Amino acid sequence: MSGATSLPPLVEPAEELTKEEVARYSRHLIIPDVGVEGQKRLKNAKVLVVGAGGLGSPALLYLAAAGVGTLGIVEFDAVDESNLHRQVIHGQSDLGRPKAESARDSIAEVNPFVQVNLHQTHLTSDNALDIFRDYDLILDGTDNFATRYLVNDAAVLLGKPYVWGSIFRFEGQASVFWDQYGPNYRDLYPEPPPPGMVPSCAEGGVLGVLCASIGSIMVNEAIKLITGIGETLLGRLMIYDALEMSYRTVKIRKDPNAEPVKELIDYESFCGVVSDDAQQAAVNSTITPRELKEMFDRGEDFELIDVREPHEYEIVKIDGSKLIPKDRILSGEALSELPQDRKIVLHCKSGGRSAEALAALHKAGFADAVHVGGGVLGWATEVDPSLPTY
């Protein structure tokens, strides 16, 4: 099913619009499909946005501007300089502040009539149902599979629609999931990808403006759901390529054989954020950046291998390291380039990829190989603060 016009409006209209609200929303009110009634539904709506980052930033600003009466923000992180190229709800003066509070202040500037609720916590299986219960609609702007499955399952159990988006480099995706009327997220992704297969934005990068494209599509879907107008993306996956400037949609169908969602589970272990092999390999084979520094200071004979990508190596590197990207180690192609006669130390950006490469080296017989927990970011923080971080 395409999610069509048969969807009922999600929210009952509020009693009235004030004189100030009529002035503020006049360009909405004169669209016949929205009108006074649609604007009253927006005023009465309660939307929860999970994450005030790349997608949450434009989504929150436009939901507020559109007149959504109550916005909830789930966010525990602080504003960092690397956020500012895409997270437009935060500014230079917000560096170091909690993102939730910075977002709340920006929303008050955009629309003082919006009630903002802050949930400054990690979303977990223990708190998700309690947080979601008071909202009509969940909009998910997170960037990891564990949270997406958690958001989906909680929305399914509570019978709420869930607007989803994801971004990576130049590509974005968006859809609407609502189990009682169409597919849920598990119909699109029945199984999480193997750990280490899908890089995060922190590892792979994202074009800043892509967040605006996908975030605005998500808000567009939320407005249609709340007011009951148009055709939503329920049952369709929209894929946007910013380099080709192309949009295409793919049908998503409900899997008739899927196991129904009955309870919330341990999503970290379900998604295996780092593979079992990598976890095992790292157990007694992880050194700290400071221990690496001591190895250098003692003049030990070892080979430091950086398993990041060449463009990352250009941004920042540890002197004396040699670049061999992770995929060349995992495929076995680079094993012949590694020394047999001295210890190998691996590092990446923060420790995830080097743990995967470490597991491959241990299997290939490099039993004393170790990796640096915290990677080059840890080195820049703890050992050499003159280096840039990214």
User: Which residue numbers are catalytic?
Assistant: 201, 348
Structure tokens given for 192: 């999480």
| Residue located via tokens 């992880």 | 286
Rg (CA), the chain: 24
DSSP letter assigned to residue 75: -
Length of the chain: 390
DSSP letter assigned to residue 215: H
Q: Which of 329, 3, 5 shows the shortest CA–CA distance to 184?
A: 3
Rounded distance, CA 290 to CA 288, Å?
5
Rounded distance, CA 346 to CA 354, Å?
6
| Residue located via tokens 């084979």 | 285
Distances (CA, A) of 152 to 96, 130, 136, 161: 30, 14, 14, 9
Structure tokens given for 229: 């107008």
Sheet with strand 137-140: strands edge to edge: 115-119, 70-74, 46-50, 137-140, 162-168, 171-177, 236-241, 246-251
Rounded distance, CA 390 to CA 379, Å?
13
Question: Could you give the angle at the alpha carbon of 88 between the alpha carbons of 207 and 74, nearest 5°?
Answer: 105
